[in-house]
Amino acid sequence: MRAGDTITVMFLGCLVLGTPFPPLAAAEHSLRDEAWSILDAGLQDKSVDKRAEALAALGIAAGDARALNTLEESLRDPKPEVRTAAVAALGDMNAKSSLPKIKALLSDSDAKTTLVIAAVLKKFGDPEGFEIYNALVAGERKDGQKLTDGIKDRKGLEKMGAEAAIGFLPFGGVATGAYDYISGTSKSAANVYVIAVNALADDPDPQVKKALVQAAFGRKLPVRVAALRALAKRDDPNVVNDIEPAMHSDKAVISYTAAAAILHLLGPEQTPVK
């Protein structure tokens, strides 16, 4: 039985037995614990892809101190793909306080990570981000090395750099867009739907919310991820019960994204008053 089902049964049981309702905070705490359990499993997975996917999802959880600390710690991960995902997620989270730690990676980053750092720096208005894009256009860094040295898919890399420079990435976010490029999973046919879903994130129409929930359980994986991210961005906690089943998807990236979305929608965890 899932945590969401357990909470429902718990409240129904109180109605039948006439016992007092448990505090709502307890129910939220249980769901929060479940979300973190799913994310922690991904963050500790041996698979670099799963770790990167879990980190990318955490970019949704703006305002969550534990998520922020987890991302900053992952900047020291030995795997560049994981560090890149952490950088991008911090950008999604608008974690400007993490800027010094992000910039510290520039001296020892490959071209892919450097471009993701540039996207984040540009988002934060840091001039060094524009300098990196200028180096891409000029074809060289200040040390004389080409930014694209060692990258076989140079056209693809340059395209990613151009898209990041104008603020567009396939999933409508730095983290998922960057990871989509790095892992080579981009599906151009699905991108049209992803862009549409992302555009609906700010539409307050209740019918749009219903459509996004349906899209979160559709067939196209990128669209499902985008829909969950859009629902998180809408900041409507009423959809938590609707998307809770997505945490138990057989697709890890869906589980991670749903878990992070629920953490965000539940709001920052309150410290108990002693």
**pLDDT for res 149:** 53
CA–CA separation, 186 and 195 (whole Å): 13
Q: Which residues contact 200 (CB under 8 A, 6 or more apart)?
A: 208, 211, 212, 230
3-state secondary structure the chain: CCHHHHHHHHHHHHHHHCCCCCCHHHHHHHHHHHHHHHHHHHHCCCCHHHHHHHHHHHCCCCCCHHHHHHHHHHCCCCCHHHHHHHHHHHHHCCCHHHHHHHHCCHHHCCHHHHHHHHHHHHHCCCHHHHHHHHHHHHCCCCCCCCCCCCCCCHHHHHHHHHHHHCCCCCCCCHHHHHHHHHHCCCCHHHHHHHHHHHHHHHCCCHHHHHHHHHHCCCCCHHHHHHHHHHHHHCCCHHHHHHHHHHHHCCCHHHHHHHHHHHHHHHCCCCCCCC
Domain ranges of the chain: 1-16+24-44+188-268, 62-186
Q: Encode pLDDT of 75-117 as tens digits.
A: 999 998 889 889 989 998 999 999 999 999 988 887 778 888 8
* pTM for the whole structure: 0.76
CA–CA separation, 59 and 71 (whole Å): 9
Name the residue with higher pLDDT: 207 or 157.
207
Least confident of 111-120, 197-206, 265-274: 265-274
Q: How confident is the model at residue 171 (pLDDT cuts 50, 70, 90)?
A: very low
CA–CA separation, 47 and 87 (whole Å): 18
Q: Which residue has the tokens 């049981």?
A: 13
Q: How confident is the model at residue 71 (pLDDT cuts 50, 70, 90)?
A: very high
How many degrees, rounded to 5, is the angle at CA 79 between CA 75 and CA 82? 55
Q: How confident is the model at residue 181 (pLDDT cuts 50, 70, 90)?
A: very low
Task: Pick the closest to residue 267 from 72, 6, 35 (CA basis).
Answer: 35
**pLDDT for res 190:** 56
